[in-house]
Amino acid sequence: MRKRLLAFTLTVLIISAILPSIHGQENRPAIYITPPPSKDFPLKIYVYPTAYDLDSKETFTCPHQDELVAMFYDALRSFRKTVLRFVDEHPRYSKLLEISFMNVSRPEDADITYRVIKYHGPYIAYTNFTGAWTPYRSEIYVTCDRIVGKGSEGWAKGVVFHELGHALGLGHAKQEETEHGEPEIMHHIPADIAYDVYPSTLFLAALHELYFRHEFKEIYEVYTLPEDLEYKMMIPYDVELQQLGEENQKLKEENEKLWGYLRNASDVIDYLDDEIQRLRGENEDLRMMNEALKNQLADLFGRFMVANMTIQHLQAENERLKANLTWCLQTGLELGEKCNRTIRELVRKYNDLNANYSLCREYLNEYYNEAQWFKMWTLIITATAITGLIAYYLYVRRYLREE
């Protein structure tokens, strides 16, 4: 049991020791490599003097032929200069200095050929090779009308340098930028980049591996940058000196401006002294004004609080009045409706009374005409009756006397 536990513990320790290194290795910059066209130096170069139309299989005159050829030779010179700086900083890669180039007069004698072409495919430039396990020739093709003027000058040069990397045996890098944020020339170069792009330490260390150390088992294999090698772009010394010279010129111009400022420093200081005195006076005035404003602000704040309380009271009163007004409006509408009904009823009764009054007047008119004759006969009868009574009274009285 103890032996099994000991074996298990040792296995865990071994795996834990291996895994971090593997993980760290996977995170390191890496690039594909393939067997180079030749390991006999100098590498032979042939540049076609005329452009070639892949569709018609005929030569043609490219207006950018000379410029594109000049970019290729500039890439060869820049390669040599970057190797010199890389070896100067990392002497263990000194065998890279053996890589050199020479022109030949025939394409079949060349290790690398370079040709300007016209075709309707998707690429602006590409590189072909004719074999893998035996010496072969790398063939670089750049399009006549898709590089010059289609991006910045640094991008155009970077495209040609990128294809030179393929011709030397490098594939594409797995990362876009170096540790310093510089474009990796074997991955992707922005079309609007404002400076020239040069090979990285990964580019140069991979070349050293595939030309002087590596034994290939597959056509394409992966090379990983060593842990102790910083991942950065290798700028040639002369380019860096030129950049430093431009920066130095800017510093000189800035220095002249500063000397001009210093020559006027005395006047500026006197002016500043006067300005300081003036500002001190203004500051004192402002301080007094600030105190007065503080008092006014406190007073205004008190008034604001009173006004706020008044507003709250008025808002409450306004709500109460709104409620009363709503009630009055509802009550008024109800009373108005009752008044309308009463008025309509009174109008109806008035119309009935008016009709009755008219009937009464007609009846009275008729009755009055008939009553006139009735009154006359009544008077006559009444007068006759009274006369008879008087006569009877007188007769009775006279009769009584006589007795």
Tell me the residue range of the domain where 184 lies: 22-235
Indicate the pLDDT class of residue 321, thresholds 50, 70 and 90: confident
Tokens of residue 349, six digits? 């009764």
* CB 127, CB 167: distance < 8 Å: yes
Q: CA 156 to CA 75: how far, in whole Å?
A: 11
CATH of the domain at 39: 3.40.390.10
Q: What is the pLDDT of residues 168-206, one digit of tens each?
A: 999 999 999 999 999 999 999 999 999 999 999 999 999
Q: What is the pLDDT of residues 119-145, one digit of tens each?
A: 999 999 999 975 555 557 899 999 999
- The reply to whether 221 falls in a domain is yes
- The reply to whether 87 falls in a domain is yes
Percentage, residues of the chain above pLDDT 90? 48
- The reply to whether 394 falls in a domain is no
Q: What is the pLDDT of residues 238-292, one digit of tens each?
A: 999 998 887 767 776 776 776 667 667 667 777 877 788 888 888 888 888 888 8
Name every residue whose Cβ is closer than 8 Å to that of residue 87 and which is 6 or more positions away in sequence. Answer: 93, 94, 96, 97
Question: Phi/psi class of residue 389: alpha, beta or left (left: φ > 0; alpha: ψ in -120 to 50)?
Answer: alpha
User: Mean pLDDT across the stretch 287-299?
Assistant: 84
- The reply to whether 395 falls in a domain is no
Which of the given ranges, 3-7, 12-16, 109-113, 308-312, has the highest pLDDT on average? 109-113
Q: CA 17 to CA 343: how far, in whole Å?
A: 110
pLDDT score of 16:
37
**What angle do the packed helices 65-89 and 201-212 form, to 10 degrees?**
80
Number of domains in the chain: 1
- The reply to whether 210 falls in a domain is yes
Phi, psi of 361 (to 5 degrees): -60, -40
- The reply to whether 103 falls in a domain is yes
Name every residue whose Cβ is closer than 8 Å to that of residue 152 and which is 6 or more positions away in sequence. Answer: 191, 192, 193, 194
- Between residues 170 and 11, the one the model is more confident about: 170
- The reply to whether 7 falls in a domain is no
Phi, psi of 183 (to 5 degrees): -65, 140
- The reply to whether 134 falls in a domain is yes
Tell me the residue type at 34.
Answer: T
Tokens of residue 227, six digits? 């842990």
Tokens of residue 254, six digits? 């800035």
Confidence (pTM)? 0.59
